A and B are shown apart, each in its own frame.
Chain A
Amino acid sequence: AQSVTQLDSQVPVFEEAPVELRCNYSSSVSVYLFWYVQYPNQGLQLLLKYLSGSTLVKGINGFEAEFNKSQTSFHLRKPSVHISDTAEYFCAVSEGGSSNTGKLIFGQGTTLQVKP
């Protein structure tokens, strides 16, 4: 079974500063990894995904993440945040390969609060 741990429940940061949201996962099989964003009163939007290949993946809105297999981590980064990045961010995992049903296992979420 897979599990996901987001190491920070809240991350306050000033506008234009860099940010890193940390995510660790546990799985005995190959996985796909995702970051989703949830703006207030909205559904989930996919920011980026890692399926295979290059360990550095780029997503929408200037976000990127790096897959580290040895450390079982998938941290999300942005070099310069904007007020509009204030939202809840979820790291998620699903099984890869032929046994993939597509179901997502989510972390507890990290609230990114960007201050002016």
Chain B
Amino acid sequence: DSGVTQTPKHLITATGQRVTLRCSPRSGDLSVYWYQQSLDQGLQFLIQYYNGEERAKGNILERFSAQQFPDLHSELNLSSLELGDSALYFCASSAIYRYSYNEQFFGPGTRLTVL
């Protein structure tokens, strides 16, 4: 158990819908990362937040957005869903984000299926 929790574990929805994935980082970790794992794109970095502020952006679609709340939990919002958005979405957390190495601890993931 990494200490990172993600809910829900599974999510099945239809094209065109909107969903919210939730991540609670390890106690004391200020930085949250979101990754997408799909069959065709592999594991891709989406976005990073540090203490409530966006710090780095990867291959995140405009239909996707994220935020980190004052209690440090993060949500990833996916809208106008397409079949190709079906994937495993991971959240990871680390203590601080720059000047030195900080190990990222991964949650178990949320498996999104778009029908």
Contact = CB atoms under 8 A, between A and B. Distances in A.
Interface of A: 32, 42-46, 49, 51, 90, 96, 98-109
Contacts of B92: 44
Contacts of B103: 46, 49
A104 B104 contact: yes
A44 B2 CA distance: 9
Given A49-B101, A101-B97, A108-B42, A43 B55 contact: no
A99 B31 CA distance: 15
Interface string B6-39: 0000000000000000000000000101010000
Contact size range, B? 20 to 34
Interface in B66-115: 90, 92, 94, 97-104, 106-109
Nearest to B4: A43
B36 to A, nearest CB: 11
A17 to B, nearest CB: 27
A103 B56 contact: yes
Contact of A103 (B4, B58, B90, B108): B58
A111 to B, nearest CB: 13
Given A102-B56, A107-B42, 20 more contacts: A43-B90, A43-B106, A43-B107, A43-B109, A45-B2, A46-B104, A49-B101, A49-B103, A90-B43, A98-B98, A101-B55, A102-B48, A102-B104, A103-B33, A103-B58, A106-B35, A106-B44, A108-B42, A109-B42, A109-B43
Contact of B99 (A44, A90, A100, A103): A100
